[in-house]
Amino acid sequence: MKTNPGIHAATGSSDLPDSFEAGVSAASEALSGLSGRTPQVLMVFGAMRFDHRDLLKGVMSIFGTVPIVGGTTAGEISTAGYSTGSVVVMAIASDYLQFVPGIGHNMSSDERACAVYMASDILSKGSFGQEAALLVFPNGMGGDGLRVLDGLHSVLGPGFEILGGYLGDDERFQSTFQYYNGMVYRDAIVGLMIYYRMDCVRTGIGVRSGFESIGNSFVCTASEGNIVREFDHVRALDLYKDFLGEERSARLPGVCLEYPFGLIDPELSTDGSDMFQLRCGLSVDHAKGTISLVASIPSGSSVTLTTASRGDIIQGARMAAEQALAGLSGAIPRLVVMFSCVGRKLVLGRRIQEEVAAIKECFGEKVPLIGFYTYGEIGPVNKMKPGYDIAKFHNETVVLWVIGEEYS
């Protein structure tokens, strides 16, 4: 086993009240973990409470002009565990990896065009002729997540390795911020292309929710963008209320987090087993009978209702970690990036730390970890299985991306 790894990552976190000082503190902790190595890129995720320009100035006072990607969250995740009202920083240094950031603007005007611009921005900076993966951090309130993926696939191809999380705003569901090279943006998609050497690096992906179908299924008979109007030719909200019952319906729209829709994917459903991507309701219109979702459910799609207990959600995280670790084929995990839906956080409540703990237990307590609670997740259902390796949009799901280093 290698005693001197070629991939080095370290994290830092801070909840200091002053934005600049919080950035300094988190960055200093990450820098100290690199043991004198010079980082090539930083991932930075912060709570909404900060003055974000001052926060990044604090980070840059330690790291200088090292490229930065990231943004605001619905909860921060680091090697230290889950935190809130904090900033988390991961610094990465490696001769085996190359990093190229990019950005697209005006996401809410045209999600697809914004994604195309961001991917093209990255590719315009040169190709390194190696294997690669793309991490994306879109504005969580920017519109239909399926259109973002459509744009990325149009540039990179359907089989390209794409992971990501939609940035949050502490559950306000109003407006998020994106971080890019020391600047703060609104309504953008930030991306980070990571090129790696196939002879010594492996990547693993885990995508699991823990949610299961309640058993019923129905068809979306009318939708417009991410607004569902009808299921089975009945007003969507009326049918949803019938399934929920009077007591649960009184808790709309919050109860949507406990009972998300499962968009059945016919391309992945085999042997009588339905595979689905979760779709969580954001708001409801009682007068019109419509439900607004984070990503669209196209008309004609088959849908099922799902639910999960807290234990199911934690087990889902453990299964995602096991899936990602298996994808490394024996390589040593060197860093983990975690995207978990804010809906999982709200359902877990006081058991929130158990989700991160289950993942750390699988990879090892000392493996550097960074991530955040999201407004939507991107990742393939199964990277290792042909046909299942195309990136999908998810809700209520945990998506893990791990970089591993081969044995010498």
Q: 22 near 50, Cβ under 8 Å? A: yes
d(CA 308, CA 348): 10
Q: What is the DSSP letter of 22?
A: H
Q: What integer is the mean pLDDT of 214-231?
A: 93
Query: How far, rounded to the nearest angstrom, does the alpha carbon of residue 97 sit from its chain's CA centroid?
Result: 21
Strand, coil or helix: what is 68? strand
pTM of the model: 0.93
Adjacent-strand bridge partners of 208: 398
* Spatial CA neighbour of 262 closest among 309, 305, 316: 305
Instruction: Name the residue with tokens 């703060």.
Output: 184
Shortest CA distance to 207 belongs to which of 357, 309, 317? 317
**Max CA separation in the chain (angstroms):** 64
- Residue pair 52/148 in contact (Cβ under 8 Å)? The answer is no
Query: What integer pLDDT is reported at residue 273 of this predicted model?
Result: 61
- State pLDDT tens for residues 237-295: 999 999 999 999 999 998 998 899 999 987 776 555 667 899 998 889 999 999 999 88
Confidence of residue 179 (pLDDT cuts 50, 70, 90): very high
Is the pLDDT score of 225 beyond 90? no
Report the alpha-carbon distance of residue 326 to residue 320 in Å, rounded: 10
pLDDT of residue 282: 83
Phi-psi region of 315 (alpha: psi -120 to 50; beta: other; left: phi over 0): alpha
How confident is the model over 22-43, as pLDDT tens digits? 999 999 999 999 999 999 999 9
Q: Measured between alpha carbons, how far is 281 from 308 in angstroms, rounded to an integer? A: 16
Angle at CA of residue 329, ends 88 and 159, nearest 5°: 75
Taking alpha carbons only, the member of 150, 141, 146, 139 closest to residue 188 is: 139
* 173 vs 127, residue with greater confidence: 173
Residue 224: how many other CB atoms lie within 10 Å: 10
| pLDDT at res. 272 | 53
Interatomic CA distance for residues 394 and 315, integer angstroms: 17
Residues in CB range of 260: below 8 A, 6 or more apart: 211, 278, 279, 280, 281, 306, 343, 395, 396
Rounded mean pLDDT of the chain?
Answer: 94
Q: Residue 68: pLDDT above 90?
A: yes
pLDDT digits (tens, 9 = 90+) for 328-387: 999 999 999 999 999 999 899 999 999 999 999 999 999 999 999 999 999 999 998 888
Whether the predicted pLDDT of 210 surpasses 60: yes
- Cα separation, 183 vs 181, in Å, equals 6
Q: Are strands 369-374 and 7-14 parallel, antiparallel or unpaired?
A: unpaired
CB burial of 346-371 (b: ≥16 within 10 Å; e: otherwise) equals bbbeeebebbbbbbbebbeeebbbbb
The pLDDT-based confidence of 309 (bands split at 50, 70, 90) is: very high
> How many Å apart are CA 150 and CA 158, to the nearest integer?
9
Q: What is the pLDDT of residue 269?
A: 62
Any alpha helices (H) in 245-351, and if so which ranges?
Answer: 246-249, 310-327, 342-348
Residue 236 has pLDDT above 50, yes or no: yes
Q: Which amino acid is at 113?
A: A
Q: At what angle do helices 310-327 and 352-363 cross, to 10 degrees?
A: 20
Going by pLDDT thresholds of 50, 70 and 90, the confidence category of residue 1 is very low
Rounded to an integer, what distance in angstroms lies between the CA atom of residue 271 and that of residue 257?
A: 29
